[in-house]
Structure 1
Amino acid sequence: MSTAEPTLFQRLARLSLVAQIAIGLVLGIALALVSPAGAQAVSMLGDIFISALKAVAPVLVLVLVIASIANHRQGQPTYLKPVLMLYLIGTLGAAAIAVIASFAFPTTLVLNTPPIEGAPPGGILGVLKNLLLSVVTNPVKALQEANFIGVLAWAVALGIALRHAAPGTRTMLNDVSDAISAIVRLVIRFAPLGIFGLVASTLAESGFGVLLDYGRLLLVIVGSMLFVALVFNPLLAYWKMRRNPYPLVFTCLRESGVTAFFTRSSAANIPVNMELCKRLGLHEDTYSIAIPLGATINMAGAAVTITVMTLAATHTLGIHVDLPTALLLCIVASLAACGVSGVAGGSLLLIPMACALFGMDTDVAMQVVGIGFIISVVQDSVETALNSSTDIVFTAAVCAAESGEPLKL
């Protein structure tokens, strides 16, 4: 008895998710080149995908963290402290790499861009104040606005309060967590269609011709981020794991960085990262808190953007930057990066705060922000891919080192 040949759809369904995303990427580029109008028409696919990720992410974080803490028992290991240490070292190191790159390849800007309207924070104290206020915000409002610091704070508090709840209550929390995770997996299965729509519409709307005038600036920014992703992060991971880090790094870039590149939102990529952590066999009590926290405070890409854009402005205006001031800029950029919202372009409005270190007025600083928005189609995509994939690299490195168990790569 002969077996019917599988249809094209069935063959595509059998491919891995990464292969399906790659096909969506190629088809999106092809559609943008052949029919820009058609590419605009499919933009809805990308919008729906991002909206679905953003909708499920806060609920996922809330339920998963509550369930993990409520069911945690004394003596079970958690590895949050070393993860947070890697987050801190990684962000500071990225800022330092950006300073070195900016000194090695100084860039001149054309400051005739209309200033961008917005309200940059007044300083580091303003950023820290916003972070503290986010912790104590109303939980319903935190969920509505995807304020992950607030969601995480309430989840930790509720999880601790429920540790002494009845066994049936804790079992129910696990069941709800599994149900939300199932919804997340369903949303992620539509990633190839979402990437297809995002790529097609982005290329049709923006193209890359406008980026040629800022090619040198983009090369410094993207080159710094690639150095962080392919050299600095692997060194930190090796220091922690004492084994070859590149299989882990490439897995994270392929399965987390690609989707983050096109969604341009660390917050939207939290469900993707959570699912990848589960597949890697990481410690749930660790990644359920480390991943949403990393989406808010582990911002190596943002530190690079803030540093490079600020030093490009100082070079343009002829402002001398000595070594102590450069070190201070690294610290300011790292702290500012922790206050970046997990949305597209979140790091750009923090540039004026760094520019204020060198006495630049707001009008000039906002013109620099305007240039940032021009190149953001590439800059912000690479930045988000670095930020999001780094969350998993550091979390996985710590879990592998502390538990001694091999990763399921």
Structure 2
Amino acid sequence: MNKSTIWKNYRFPIILLSGITIGAVLGIVLGEKAKVLAPLGDIFLNLMFTIVVPMVFVSIASAVGNMVNMKRLGRIMGSLVTVFVVTGAIAGVLVLVVVNVFPPAAGTSIQFASAEMEEMSSVGDMIVGALTVDDFSGLMSRRNMLPIIVFAILSGFCVSACGGEESPVGKLLNNLNTIIMKIVSIIMMYAPIGLGAYFASLVGEFGPGLIGDYGHAMLVYYPMCLFYFFTAFPAYAYFAGGKEGVSRMFKHILNPAVTAFATQSSIAALPVNAEACDRIGVPKDIRDIVLPMGATMHMDGSVLSAIVKISFLFGIFNQSFTGVGTYAMAMAVAVLSAFVLSGAPGGGLVGEMLIVSLFGFPAEAFPLIATIGFLVDPAATCLNASGDTIASMMVTRMVEGKDWLNRRIKKEEEMTPEAPGLERA
């Protein structure tokens, strides 16, 4: 591709990365003084968090409400669960191999900080809290994403049963969905400034000393994430849409990946993910179901980080991280913390407490992995969020057949016959 084509295809990611890079440099140069820029970043995050709850509810409710054939909904949900579980298992096997070859605790000399473990909730309470709220007002908070999704699916099913997209409520939901996505596009115009300021403040506050004694664990985790991004993701995209699927994935994955890395929030990256899926060619009904559920349940990056944390604690306490039983327990805890607890308020910390409790580590172990959780969160969230886009492609392939992307391309060419060389959305 020539320079003009590259600029046309990757203009926004380039601007976004430039803003973040400039922010990081300002953070290094200004040090703690860079925290004065924090409000500019907070404004962007607040705008994204404000729009995400109505976006999730309206997109899911309208997608389900527009479905006349409930069998399609069943196929989407079944394919979604399959993709989430299989990709999570692949991530788990990869990290088990990596931490045995490169132990993340090697070379560390960590002083324990005292910490008092919070009382663990029962499994029943966790399930109830993750899926429901005790008051309607709780559905208006981004901290209750799974209950919002459950209520949106129920609402959409009832809309479909009472007239679908031709009913007054169905038309309202579809119109609201269009309006909300327009709001998102306006907010994203501010993203390079907002994320640049956010990164400047972050780097200025923590600086190069952010890594400290955890450097070896980071040297294990971050290259592993890059390996997963550039090997597993293209393989998934190839399964979804062949060579064209891989091409479109790399062409449109940068926006959600960069946004998730900078904000450390899969929820904040939801609107950008929706735009990426639309440009790739994922059907709207699949996109509007897979992405919101993926933001709370599809956590390949979190599976990777959970097992790194477990292996790190084994090394710190001079225990051998080997054996089928140990690996099985590590996989189970990683999947539980990534797929279930991530949907509950404070799910990350609860997952870390679960690791400490189930493996019998002392309370002092909690701040150790809580710190690791903070350090690996940008890369983990990047994989979590960008993986949702690829998951939506895989679900489309399973629901609509392996030639879905070819049909999409043919449709695009029929819509723009006079300019076949133009970028296809």
TM over 0.5: yes
Which residue does the alignment assign to 1:3?
none
SS of the residue 1:207 aligns to: helix
Amino acid at match of 2:289: I
Return the offset for 1:279. Answer: 2.4
Counterpart of 2:290 in structure 1 is 290
* Distance (Å, rounded) in 2 between the aligned partners of 1:205 and 1:345: 23
**AA paired with 2:15?**
Q
- Please list, as runs of the form range in 1=range in 2, the aligned pairs for 1:34-49 lying within 5 A after superposition: 34-36=29-31, 39-49=34-44
SS in 1 for 2:211: helix
1:100 and 2:101 are equivalent in the alignment:
no
1:394 aligns with 2:394: no
Specify the code of the residue in structure 1 equivalent to 2:372. G
Q: Give the Cα separation in 1 of the matches to 2:343 and 2:184.
A: 18
- Distance apart, 1:117 and its partner CA: 5.7
Using the size of structure 2 for normalisation, the TM-score is 0.83
After TM superposition, give the deviation of residue 284 of structure 1 in Å: 1.3
Q: Give the RMSD, CA atoms, in angstroms.
A: 2.8
In 1, Cα distance between equivalents of 2:22 and 2:361: 45
Q: Check conservation: 1:116, 1:366, Cα contact below 8 A.
A: yes
For the 8 Å contact 2:33–2:204, the answer to whether it is kept is: no
Aligned with 1:341: secondary structure?
A: helix
* 2:41 corresponds to 1:82: no
Which residue in 2 is equivalent to 1:174? 174
Displacement of 1:208: 2.0
Aligned counterparts of 1:253 and 1:358: Cα–Cα separation in 2: 37
Cross-structure match for 1:257: 257
Q: C-alpha distance in 1, partners of 2:10/2:241?
A: 31
Residues 142 and 325 of structure 1: CA distance in aligned 2, closer, same or farther (over 3 Å): same
Partner of 1:5: none
Instruction: Check whether the contact 1:291–1:392 (CA below 8 A) recurs between aligned residues.
Output: yes
Deviates further, 32-41 or 219-228:
32-41
Deviations 1:337-364 (A, max 9, x none): 1134379985354123223343222x13
Quote the offset at 1:233 in angstroms: 3.1
Greater mean alpha carbon deviation, residues 95-104 or residues 36-45: 36-45
Match of 2:146 in 1: 149
Give aligned pairs, total: 391
Match of 1:197 in 2: 197
CA deviation after TM superposition for structure 1 residue 116, in Å: 4.9
Q: Report deviation, 1:132.
A: 3.5
Following superposition of structure 1 onto structure 2, how do residues 358-373 of structure 1 map, counting pairs within 5 Å?
A: 358-361=359-362, 363-372=363-372
Quick check: 2:115–2:364 contact (8 Å CA) kept in 1?
no
Q: How far apart in 1 are the matches of 2:180 and 2:197?
A: 25
Distance in 2, Cα, partners of 1:230 & 1:117: 40
The answer for the alignment partner of 1:119 in structure 2 is 118
Q: Which of 45, 54, 60 is the aligned partner of 2:55?
A: 60
- Shift of residue 244 of structure 1? 6.0
Distance in 1 of aligned mates of 2:345 and 2:125: 22
How far apart are residue 77 of structure 1 and its match? Answer: 4.3
What is residue 413 of structure 2 aligned with on the other side?
Answer: none
d(CA) in 2 for partners of 1:223 and 1:91?
Answer: 18
Q: Which secondary structure does the structure 2 equivalent of 1:390 belong to?
A: helix
> Does residue 129 of structure 2 align to residue 133 of structure 1?
yes
Report the equivalent of 2:66: 71
Identity across matched positions, percent:
23
Contact 2:241 2:397 in 1 (8 A): yes
Give the whole-Å Cα distance in 2 for the aligned partners of 1:393 and 1:13: 22
TM-score (norm 1): 0.86
Change in 2 beyond 3 A, CA 1:360/1:33? closer
Cα distance change on mapping 1:221 and 1:342 into 2, 3 Å: farther
Paired letter, 1:169 = V
State the match for 1:314 in structure 2: 314
Aligned counterparts, 1:264-279, within 5 A:
264-279=264-279
- Distance in 2, Cα, partners of 1:195 & 1:36: 17
Q: Distance in 2 between matches of 1:220 and 1:25?
A: 24
Residue aligning to 1:326: 327
Q: Hey, what's the Cα distance between the residues in 1 that align with 2:91 and 2:117?
A: 26
Letter in 2 for 1:289: I
Aligned-partner SS, 2:364: helix
The answer as to whether partners of 1:62 and 1:151 remain within 8 angstroms in 2 is yes
The answer to whether the 8 Å contact 2:240/2:394 transfers is yes
Q: Is the 8 A contact 1:92 1:331 kept in 2?
A: no
Give the drift of 1:19.
Answer: 2.4
| Alignment correspondent of 1:26 | 21
1:112 counterpart letter in structure 2: Q
Letter in 2 for 1:271: P
Q: How far, CA to CA, are the matches of 2:167 and 2:223 in structure 1?
A: 52
Q: Which residue of 1 aligns with 2:224?
A: 224
Q: 1:369 to 1:212 in 2, by over 3 A?
A: closer
Alpha-carbon distance between aligned partners in 2 of 1:14 and 1:339, rounded to the nearest angstrom: 36
- Measured in 2, the distance between the counterparts of 1:266 and 1:365 equals 27
> Which moves more between the two structures, 395-404 or 152-161?
395-404
Shift of 1:336: 1.5
AA at the equivalent of 1:179: I
1: CA distance, partners of 2:263 / 2:215: 23
1:340/1:346 contact within 8 Å kept: yes
Question: What are structure 2's unaligned runs of at least 5 residues?
Answer: 1-6, 409-423
Q: 1:244 to 1:178 in 2, by over 3 A?
A: closer
1:193: how far off? 1.1
2:11 alignment partner, one of 16, 19, 31? 16
